[in-house]
Chains A and B, each alone.
Chain A
Amino acid sequence: MSAIDNTDGGWRELAEDLRGLRADPPATLRPAVLERVGLADALMTVHGPAGPLLVAYNGRGISATAPGADEAGFAERFQARFGRPLRPAGQPPARLAAQVERALTPGRRGAGPRYDLRGTSEFERAVLAKAREIPRGQVRPYAWVAGELGRPAAVRAVGAALGRNPVPVLIPCHRVVGSDGRLTGYAWGVGYKRALLAAEGADPDELERLGRRGTRFFGSDTTRIYCYPTCAHARRVTDRHLMTFTGAAQAAAAGYRPCRVCRPPALTG
């Protein structure tokens, strides 16, 4: 081992050359790592049901959405709310882009994207999970969400939780409406909510008309089951057999039972 005794000049030169082999990491490494673990986010724009949709994401899932194309404004609001930087993505990951497209396209099956809902409370996440159960083209009242969560009195809290939905459009908080069918409250305006519902095949004007007339549920006199008006089962009922109810009590008095799919309240409502 004397040949590599570190007193000899040749060795010193080689040692220096070996140290010179230290490679500089690419500038893309750090941002990629931070995005992957969810300490920074990337931004992409997709075609939403009612115009372009800005989508922020990191390795944990989709973290925020906003309508429109104002990347700088979105990044600013994102930083203020989540305290993380948001930068435009060169090339969004193909898998995620496909998942988002699936989530937004009618009739497409398969896994949707994951969501990064850090910063929301357990109750808020439960509310958002309920909203995700509402099929495209349908709506449910705030009271339905509260009842499903076993907290029928928490209607206002449900509204507040939906208002804080970090990923609107993808998590369809717009499918939750007033018990009377009115499109109350939406972070980006009731007009946008109306456009989203219309694009999904719900008829918001008709829903509001029904609500004004006091209709809360549809029933079928052949099955003697009552549903929310947008439930797929209600829409299959032909006009001749369609019954309307102003509440669960009226439906129950007529001998109808609640639909097991859209789960309207059983007695009062």
Chain B
Amino acid sequence: MEPQPELPARLARDLDGSFTELVGTYQRLVFGLALRVVADRADAEEVAQDTFARAYWALAGYPAERVAAMRLRPWLARIALNLARNRLRRRPPPARPLEDGDGQPLAVAAPAAAEPAQVAERHSDRELLAELLAGLPRGQREAVVLRHVEGLAYAEAAQVLGRPVGTVKTHAHRGVRQLRVELEARKDKEEMPR
């Protein structure tokens, strides 16, 4: 399941020599998770930085056997999630509650190859989905992000969230169902006769 099964052993032998690889391997997960919680790229980058800094100092303090036996993905995801939640708690509520808050548009895959209109549409679909996801209740949102956006197994997601697997499954299912209901509603509105 882990993308780099040998990495914990390497970190245990030589933390400084292998830590760059840890950041490279997990930065997408850590940043992505933070972004879906705090909904702001600058905040998410700070949360991601804090996550890796915490991880470094924790690893530096653990005995080698403990590091070698670590499951890095759920561990890092859990640190990121906690830091992101803390940041959200400290922040005043946003003016527009359903804002995705990405600030600048996210990169769209191969934009040059597609028709401009198509790109715009795809882009706005993506934004819409991000917006709807951000509007889900926290438990559902976190479960959907971990399972369906970041692709963790239910068991791993449950470990990250500190909840039973069944609860996480329920949350993820309800979240997805809610997203589909809202997407259908939008589509129906668009397809109404003019």
Residue ranges of A at the interface with B (Cβ–Cβ < 8 Å): 1, 3-4, 10-11, 14-15, 17-26, 28-30, 32-34, 36-37, 39, 59
Contacts and interface: CB of A to CB of B under 8 A. Distances in A.
B126 interface: yes
Contacts of B45: 25-26, 28-29, 32
Interface string B2-24: 00000000000000100110011
A73 B129 CA distance: 50
Contact of A14 (B57, B150, B180): B180
A11 B36 CA distance: 21
A1 B27 CA distance: 33
B41 A26 contact: yes
Contact of B129 (A11, A18, A34): A18
B49 A32 contact: yes
Contacts of B28: 22-25
Given A22-B32, A39-B20, 9 more contacts: A3-B180, A4-B176, A17-B129, A18-B133, A18-B148, A26-B31, A32-B45, A37-B19, A37-B53
B151 interface: yes
Contacts of A59: 53
A37 B35 CA distance: 22
A22 B28 CA distance: 8
A19 B151 contact: yes
A interface, over-half SS: helix
Contacts of B154: none
B49 A14 contact: no
B interface, over-half SS: helix
Nearest to A16: B148
Contacts of A15: 148
Nearest to B170: A1
6 contacts: A1-B177, A24-B106, A29-B23, A33-B49, A37-B56, A59-B53
A25 B48 CA distance: 9
Contacts of B64: none
A155 to B, nearest CB: 35
A25 B183 contact: no
A18 B20 contact: no
B70 interface: no
A18 B149 contact: yes
Contacts of B148: 15, 18-19
A10 B126 CA distance: 16
A33 B150 CA distance: 21
A25 B173 contact: no
